[in-house]
Homo-oligomer: A and B are copies of this chain.
Amino acid sequence: MQADSIDSNALRSGALTRALARFVADTQWSDLPAAVRNEAKRSLVNYFAVALAGANDPTVDKAVNAYQRFRADTHASIVGRSERTDMLNAAALNAMSANVYDFDDTHIPTIIHPTAPVAAALFALAESQPMSGETFLLAFVLGVEVECRIGNAVSPEHYQRGWHITSTCGVFGAAAAVAKALALDEQKTVWALGNASVQTGGLVETLGTMSKSISVGNAARNGLLSALLAEEGFSGPDAPLEGERGFLRVTASQPDWSAITSDLGHAWELLKNTYKPYPCGVVLNPVIDACLDLRRDARWSLDDIEQIELTGHPLLRERTDRPGVRTGRESQVSAQHAVAVVLARGKADLEAFSDAAVADPSLRALAGKLRFIDDASWPVESAQVTIVLRSGERVAHRVHAARGSLAAPLANVELADKLHQLAAYGRSAIDAHALIDRLWKFETAQDAGAVMHLARARI
C-alpha cells in the first residue's frame, strides 16, 4: 500500500494493521535478502553478548527472585544463569538482561533497541516447541520489521514525549515474531497485534532505575503472550494501530501512516541496526574513539594536561554535559567522565562506566578540565577532542563517523570479541566459542532452542 492511498476509510477499516499482518503471515525465508539474513545473525551475536553481561546485574538478580516465585515449569533457560524457568518468565528476564546496561543494539531512526524483546520471546518459545534456525531467523526479521516500522510511524514525538520506545514498540515486535513462529494466519496475526496494543508501556522517566527493566521484560513476555492468546482465538479490534483510539494516534499526535507499509518487503529496518562498541550513550561514541586514538599516540602524560576541549554539534553538549556524576549508570551519559576515564585508562568497557570508576578521585580531577565548544555545522555522529598541554601545545583528534555507526559498522570479529569480553564480565563460564560458532551458522540449525543450552550457565 502506498502512502498516497491511505485515506480515512482505510484507517478506519484497519487496512494498515492488516497489511502488516499479511506481510508477516506471507513472507518466506526465500524473500529475505542475504544482507538481511546476515544482519539477523549479527544482531543475535550482539544480543547474547549483552545478555551475558547483564545476567548477574543486581536488577536482574532481584527480578529473578521475584519472578521465579511464579514459574510454571522449567522448560526455558536464562542466559548466563543456571536457574531454569517457564517460557513467559524466560522471555521477560532475558530481555531485561540484554538491555539492563543499554549496551544492546540501536535502530538508528528510532533509537529502539530492537533485538532484546524479539529474540528473548522467540528463544523462550523455541525451547518449548520445535523450531528450526531458519524459522527463528525469519520470525526475528519480521518482528524487528514490525517493531521498527511502528516506531518510525510515531517518531520522534513518541520518545520525546516520554515513552520508552523499546518497550512500547517492542511488544508489537515480539507479538509479530511469535505469531510468525507459530504460523498464525493473517487474521490471528491482527489479533496478536491487538492483544499487544493493550500491553504497551514504559516511561523515559524510569531510565537509570530498576523499573525500566520491567517494561523491557514485559515487551518480550507480553508480546509472546499476545500471540499465544491469538492462537487460542482471543480476538481484538480491526485497527489496533491506526484506529481512532489505536496505538499510533494515542501515542503520537501526527503519526506517519506511510511508515507502516511503504516499501514493505523491499526496505528492511534491520539494515539500519547498529551495535555499540562502548557501554554508554551512542552520542559519546565518536568522543571515545577520539580519546582512544589520542591515547594510542600519546607523547604526553595525564599530568601535562591543562584543558580538554570537546567540539561537536550542540546536541552533544545538551545530552552529555554532566559533571560530577555519582553512579556508573549516570556516567554512561557524561562526556566529562567518558573523556577522563578513556584518556586515563585507554579502555571504554563496563568497568570504565561502573560505580567504582565514578568514585576514582583522579578521574574526577581530569573530568573537571573538560569544556564544550558548540558547532552546529558538525554532524551529530562526529566529534573532536583537543588536549591543551601545559606547554601550550595542542593535540587534536577528529572522528567523522564513530565505530559502531552505520557508516563504520562493527565487523563480525568485533561482535564476536564483544561476546567473549562480556561473557567474561558476566562470569557465567559459558563456552563462548561454541555459542558464537553456532550463531554464525544459525540458519542451518535444526533446533533453534538448543542455542540456549550453550548460553546458560553450567553449575
Contacts and interface: CB of A to CB of B under 8 A. Distances in A.
B70 A203 contact: no
State how many copies of this chain the complex holds.
Answer: 2
B66 A203 contact: no
A197 B225 contact: no
A210 B235 contact: yes
User: In this complex, which of A163, A201, A211, A232 has the most chain B Cβ atoms within 10 angstroms of its Cβ?
Assistant: A211
A155 interface: no
Interface string A196-228: 011111111110111110110010001001101
Interface in A135-155: none
A272 interface: no
B201 A201 contact: yes
A245 B195 contact: no
A42 interface: no
Contacts of A458: none
A165 to B, nearest CB: 12
A392 interface: no
A205 B197 contact: yes
Interface in A398-430: none
A229 B66 contact: yes
A229 B203 CA distance: 17
Contacts of A201: 198-201
A75 B330 CA distance: 42
A341 to B, nearest CB: 25
A229 B61 CA distance: 11
B229 A209 contact: no
A187 B218 CA distance: 24
A222 B215 CA distance: 11
A318 to B, nearest CB: 14
A168 B232 CA distance: 25
B211 A237 contact: yes
8 contacts: A197-B211, A198-B212, A200-B201, A203-B250, A205-B240, A205-B245, A209-B235, A210-B236
Given A71-B72, A205-B245, 15 more contacts: A65-B232, A66-B229, A66-B234, A72-B72, A162-B244, A194-B209, A198-B201, A199-B214, A199-B215, A203-B240, A205-B239, A205-B240, A209-B236, A210-B229, A210-B235
